[in-house]
């Protein structure tokens, strides 16, 4: 049963000033880069982690790690930065239910999630069960599974069901729990009210089909990480198909990101997440605005998919694989098989940098946006605009090559053009793919730049 997966706001901005440029910067918050176990009770940056599974974060920014090879669940306390074991005594096995979680035996804990009451659920992969840690008492119990292999029990109580290979796990707003079964090629739901387990996606056949229909009739190709957004949409990473699929609240499944069967190496961003291949997606997480974050482990980058437009941004990681970049922009950093990503309520990202044996954090919130200028170098119309934005340059504007950027309120460049500009000329750009909202247009050359704001409606 055990596997070592080494393949495995709305915020109103005062836009007349430059905001902090620290947002989007990356730093290590746990792990010293050497595989092992050490550091409990100390700053997490002094700790050792070994072959982590997934991570989770609660509403206060505490981070939870399925430290799989160490057979422990560990926690980084947001207030102090200290690392602690909260479940598992390090010995592989299955003992301790109904007692203190720190005295229990675990066997390769892999997936992990936290509900709104901070109860912790994790897939105890080597034991073939789902276990729960009560946040108020620290007591551990079996939540689902018998410990036997298989994929049985739908329609009955979850504690009588079997799992082939329970991997990812997530929870919805009501507290219902969803479990991905890698070998079983399905996702199952456990109702929190009555503990009944049922098939939610996948028909237990390895493959890739069924888009546009009910998820329970579709084939999945080894589901791994899963995440639920605030609207009840479930995102499923199919690591062997190199895709992420979405099951909407009505139960219909569709492709969401990646190209089925295509793992061409790329660290590109682009306007359509379904047209950019992923090397080996593994983890997925959602923020409160519906944006989706994907750990593209095979390309050693973290991607953000805009929940409205589908635009695919690389927001952490670079074309180089390794370990570097702490203290600088996340897009310039080197990662080494980032297996998992989690996002907190302040849009901070937590990356399980698997082969660097570290947890790294990317500061969230708005990034640096350019100061609005009033130089009269150019004008834009119409404003608000729907599909086309026209840029009219003044009669005094100098000839030459200019860079034209459209920047969103998070400070991200969503499109860019090179244009040979002449005085009194007009340039039109298609903005139909942009989500509704406020943007900046920045035009720069080798000596100066000008910025105006516009509304896309």
Contact (CB, 8 A) for 247 and 267: no
Mean pLDDT over each residue of the chain, to the nearest integer: 89
How many of the other CB atoms lie within 10 Å of CB of 376?
10
Structure tokens belonging to residue 391: 């840029």
Cα–Cα distance between 289 and 282 in angstroms, integer?
22
Per-residue pLDDT, 339: 97
Spatial CA neighbour of 456 closest among 411, 409, 422: 409
Q: What residue has token string 């640096």?
A: 368
Average the pLDDT over 73-100 and give the result.
97
Q: What residue has token string 């949409």?
A: 233
More confident residue, 399 or 196: 196
Q: Under the phi-then-psi rule, with left for phi > 0, alpha for psi from -120 to 50, and beta for the rest, what region is 98?
A: left
Contact (CB, 8 A) for 181 and 166: yes
pLDDT at 22 over 60: no
Burial call 409-427: b when 16+ CB within 10 Å, e when fewer: bbbbebbeeebebeeebeb
| 189-64-127 Cα angle (round to 5) | 55
Per-residue pLDDT, 436: 79
DSSP E strand boundaries for 344-435: 349-353, 358-362, 378-381, 388-393, 400-407, 413-421, 426-430
User: Could you tell me the pLDDT band of residue 12, with boundaries at 50, 70 and 90?
Assistant: very low
pLDDT at 85 over 80: yes
Cα–Cα distance between 420 and 57 in angstroms, integer?
47
Average the pLDDT over 398-409 and give the result.
81
Contact (CB, 8 A) for 26 and 20: no
Average the pLDDT over 272-282 and give the result.
94
Contact (CB, 8 A) for 139 and 101: yes
The residues that bridge with 270 in the sheet, in sequence order, are 312
- Of all residues in the chain, the percent with pLDDT exceeding 70 is 91
Chain-centre distance for alpha carbon 311: 15
Contact (CB, 8 A) for 146 and 166: no
Contact (CB, 8 A) for 403 and 363: no
Rg (CA), the chain: 23
User: Could you tell me the pLDDT band of residue 402, with boundaries at 50, 70 and 90?
Assistant: confident
400-405: long-range contacts at Cβ-Cβ below 8 A with a sequence spacing of 24 or more?
400/445, 400/446, 401/445, 402/443, 402/444, 402/445, 403/443, 403/444, 403/445, 404/429, 404/441, 404/442, 404/443, 405/441, 405/442, 405/443, 405/444
> CB neighbours of 393 closer than 8 A, spacing ≥ 6?
377, 378, 421, 422, 423, 424, 425, 426, 427
Least trusted range by pLDDT, from 108-112, 214-218, 253-257, 344-348: 344-348
Could you report the per-residue pLDDT of 118-168, keeping only the tens digit for each? Answer: 999 999 999 999 999 999 999 999 999 999 999 999 999 999 999 999 999
User: Could you tell me the pLDDT band of residue 443, with boundaries at 50, 70 and 90?
Assistant: confident
Cα–Cα distance between 318 and 316 in angstroms, integer?
7
Top mean pLDDT of 8-22, 85-99, 266-280, 385-399 is at 85-99
C-alpha distances (whole Å) from 7 to each of 4, 42, 224, 240, 281 are 8, 30, 12, 10, 10
Cα–Cα distance between 316 and 367 in angstroms, integer?
14
Cα–Cα distance between 221 and 242 in angstroms, integer?
9
Contact (CB, 8 A) for 113 and 119: no
Could you report the per-residue pLDDT of 32-46, keeping only the tens digit for each? Answer: 999 999 999 999 999
Least trusted range by pLDDT, from 14-23, 213-222, 257-266, 278-287: 14-23
User: Could you tell me the pLDDT band of residue 370, with boundaries at 50, 70 and 90?
Assistant: low
Per-residue pLDDT, 374: 53
User: Could you tell me the pLDDT band of residue 444, with boundaries at 50, 70 and 90?
Assistant: confident
- CA atoms 321, 329, 293, 106: torsion sign: positive
The helix or strand, by DSSP H or E, that contains position 258, with its residue range, turns out to be strand 253-258
Contact (CB, 8 A) for 221 and 211: no
């Amino acid at each position: 049963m055990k596997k070592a997966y080494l393949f495995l706001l709305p915020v109103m901005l005062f836009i007349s000033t430059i905001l902090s440029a620290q947002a989007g910067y990356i730093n290590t918050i746990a792990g010293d880069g050497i595989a092992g176990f050490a550091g409990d009770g100390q700053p997490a940056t002094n700790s050792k982690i070994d072959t982590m599974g997934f991570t989770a974060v609660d509403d206060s920014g505490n981070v939870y790690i399925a430290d799989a090879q160490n057979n422990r669940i560990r926690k980084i306390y947001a207030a102090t930065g200290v690392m602690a074991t909260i479940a598992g005594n390090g010995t592989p096995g299955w003992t301790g239910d109904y007692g203190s979680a720190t005295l229990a035996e675990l066997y390769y804990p892999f997936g992990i999630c936290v509900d709104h009451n901070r109860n912790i659920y994790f897939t105890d992969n080597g034991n073939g069960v789902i276990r729960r840690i009560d946040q108020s008492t620290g007591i551990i119990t079996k939540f689902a599974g018998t410990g036997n292999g298989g994929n049985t029990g739908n329609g009955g109580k979850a504690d009588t069901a079997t799992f082939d290979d329970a991997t990812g796990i997530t929870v919805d707003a009501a507290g219902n729990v969803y479990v991905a079964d890698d070998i079983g090629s399905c996702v199952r739901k456990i109702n929190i009210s009555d503990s009944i387990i049922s098939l939610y996606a996948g028909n237990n056949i390895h493959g890739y089909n069924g888009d546009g229909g009910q998820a329970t009739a579709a084939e999945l190709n080894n589901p791994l990480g899963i995440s639920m957004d605030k609207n009840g949409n479930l995102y499923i990473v199919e690591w062997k198909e190199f895709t992420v699929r979405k099951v909407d609240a009505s139960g219909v499944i569709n492709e969401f990101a990646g190209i089925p069967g295509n793992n061409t190496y790329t660290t590109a961003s682009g306007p359509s997440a379904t047209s950019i291949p992923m090397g080996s997606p593994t983890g997925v997480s959602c923020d409160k605005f519906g944006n989706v974050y994907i750990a593209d482990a095979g390309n050693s980058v973290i991607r953000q998919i805009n929940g409205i437009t589908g635009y695919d941004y690389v927001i952490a990681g670079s074309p180089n694989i390794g370990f570097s970049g702490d203290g600088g922009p996340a897009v310039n950093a080197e990662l080494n098989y980032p297996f998992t990503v989690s996002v907190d309520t302040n849009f901070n990202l937590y990356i399980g940098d698997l082969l660097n044996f570290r947890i790294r954090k990317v500061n969230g919130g708005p990034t640096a946006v350019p100061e609005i200028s009033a130089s009269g170098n150019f004008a834009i119309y119409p404003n608000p605009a729907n599909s086309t934005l026209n840029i009219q340059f003044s009669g005094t504007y100098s000839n030459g090559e200019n860079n034209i950027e459209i920047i969103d309120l998070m400070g991200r460049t969503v499109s860019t053009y090179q244009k040979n500009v002449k005085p009194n000329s007009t340039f039109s750009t298609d903005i139909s793919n942009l989500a509704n909202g406020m943007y900046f247009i920045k035009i720069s050359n080798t000596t100066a730049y000008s910025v105006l704001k516009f509304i896309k409606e």
